[in-house]
Structure 1
Amino acid sequence: MTDGVVRVLLVDDHPLFRAGLRAALESSPGLVVAGEAQTAGEVPQAVERHRPDLVVMDLSLPDGSGLDATRRLTEQHPGLPVLMLTMADDDGSLLAALQAGARGYLVKGAGREEVLHAVRTVAAGGAVFGADIASRITALLTGSRLREAGQLFPSLTTREAEVLDLVARGLDNHRIARELFVAEKTVRNHVTHIFEKLNVATRAEAVARARDMGLGDTGG
């Protein structure tokens, strides 16, 4: 931040929404919209060009997911916080956003003051979630739904989620094939797709990601 002014980058493919959000932000002292992007592909260049203190990111973009864009940002710019502002109100999207590294999650339709508070808080290093979302996070992290791989990793198909859970339990491809009554080649294909979707390069990385989210526990 320069002179206490928070520079914001807006990433959303709807011009009218961006215009309304820009007007709301810039009507508040200490906030300025440094730049805008309409697609996930534009984000890296926009960040380099505008040097924002915070990125407000939509989940659904024309050329890909805001989750992937967020994940890349948190890897390439660890100190740059991302606030998700999206229409998606489902638990899977919420958990995926947290997993990708988002520091806040608001549903479009949130009031002006709620959005301004979220932007300021996330820019200052805090984390913000809508009131109903905060209570759902607690339920998701303590309840049995945490065990569902399909909710934790919504990009995976049901069978890929099943395979990931078995991988996290330490089973090799041969044993997974026997467990699921499919060919070992089919399992290898599933594992390849899982690696691509989770953006991991090794089985160990996939296991670590899955176990971080509570999968692979052979005790229950």
Structure 2
Amino acid sequence: MEIRLLIADDHPIFLKGLKEVIEMDADLKVIVSAKNGQEALLSFQLHSVDVVVLDIDMPRMTGLEAAEKMLQIQPDLPIIILTMHKEKAPFLKALEIGVLGYVLKENAVSDIVHAIYKARDGDLYLSPEISAYLLKKTSALQRQSKNDLKALLTPSETHIMKMISEYKSSKEIADELFISEKTVSNHRMNIAKKLNLTGKNSLLRFALDQSWV
């Protein structure tokens, strides 16, 4: 089944190379390329696409700004952000918006196709280098005092939150704990309710913000 893509980057050579890498997979088809965020948003409104890939730093409208507007129109749209930055703040902003992929541009050749399939299936994908960096930054904060909200959770819920902070999917958590995905989903819903969290990726954002241990 063909997956139709919109890609956007303000560097023509990178944009051309990205298209070539993506279309090396016979099931992936780039139907429109855009040179800035504003053009990407307009193209999205004019074409039917399955996955969107946006550079984070673009003129006229950033990738995050374009992503936010696209998701207001189509909340379940799989969007992948390409970035040269490993900082925590833009990553957390991307999660808050509802972005499903966060790929380091220097690793786009090796990561982008896998990210597209993960996002298409509704799963979060991060370049391994970004995951390792963020986990290291989180570990550096682990000696800080725990947030009182953490005391509301059971040991099982605490363990699941730690696994969420390690970017593990519900399926990976279920497999590791020998429980069903449905049970993991129930735990996630209970945790979110206890912590008064709403929105996409809210548990992961909370886990990273609070340096979960």
Shorter-chain TM band:
0.5 to 0.7
CA contact (8 A) 2:23 2:30 kept: yes
Please provide the CA RMSD for this pair.
2.7
Matched, 1:103 2:79: no
The Cα of 1:119 is off from its aligned counterpart by 1.1
Deviation per residue, 1:31-54 (Å, 9 max, x gap): 000101112212232112221101
Q: Distance in 2 between matches of 1:111 and 1:10?
A: 13
CA deviation vs aligned residue, 1:155-174 (integer Å, no higher than 9, x gap): xxxxxxxxxxxxxxxxxxxx
Q: How do 1:44-123 residues align onto structure 2 when only pairs under 5 Å count? A: 44-110=41-107, 112-123=109-120
Does residue 45 of structure 2 align to residue 28 of structure 1?
A: no
Instruction: Say if 2:137 is the partner of 1:125.
Output: no
Instruction: Name the amino acid aligned to 1:25.
Output: I
Aligned residue-pair number: 149
Query: 3-state SS of the aligned residue for 1:110?
Result: helix
Shift of 1:140: 6.5
Aligned amino acid, residue 112 of structure 1: V
Mapped to 2, the partners of 1:140 and 1:125 lie a distance apart of 26
Q: 2:36·2:62 contact (CA, 8 Å) conserved in 1?
A: no
Residues 107 and 113 (structure 1), Cα distance of their counterparts in 2 relative to 1, 3 Å cut: closer
Q: Distance in 1 between matches of 2:74 and 2:112?
A: 23
Q: Structure 1: state its 5+ residue gaps.
A: 148-207, 215-220
What are the superposed Cα offsets for residues 37-90 of structure 1, whole Å, 9 maximum, x if unpaired?
A: 112212232112221101101111111321111111111111211101121222
For the residue of structure 1 that corresponds to 2:122, the secondary structure is coil
Q: Who is 2:36 aligned against? A: 39
> Which of 8, 17, 22 in structure 1 is aligned with 2:5?
8
Shift of 1:103: 0.4
TM-score, structure 2 as length reference:
0.61
Q: Distance in 2 between matches of 1:69 and 1:141?
A: 28
Which 4+ runs in 1 deviate beyond 3 A?
135-145
Does the CA contact (< 8 Å) of 2:104 and 2:130 recur in 1?
no
Larger radius of gyration, structure 1 or 2?
1
Bigger drift between 88-97 and 7-16 goes to 88-97
Q: Find the aligned partners of 1:78 and 1:139 in 2 and give their Cα distance.
A: 31
Q: CA offset at residue 112 of structure 1?
A: 2.5
Distance in 1 between the 2:109 and 2:66 partners?
Answer: 25
- TM-score, scaled relative to structure 1: 0.60
Overall identity of the aligned pairs, in %: 27
> Could you say which residue in structure 2 is the equivalent of 1:184?
none
Q: In 2, distance between residues paired with 1:71 and 1:136?
A: 25
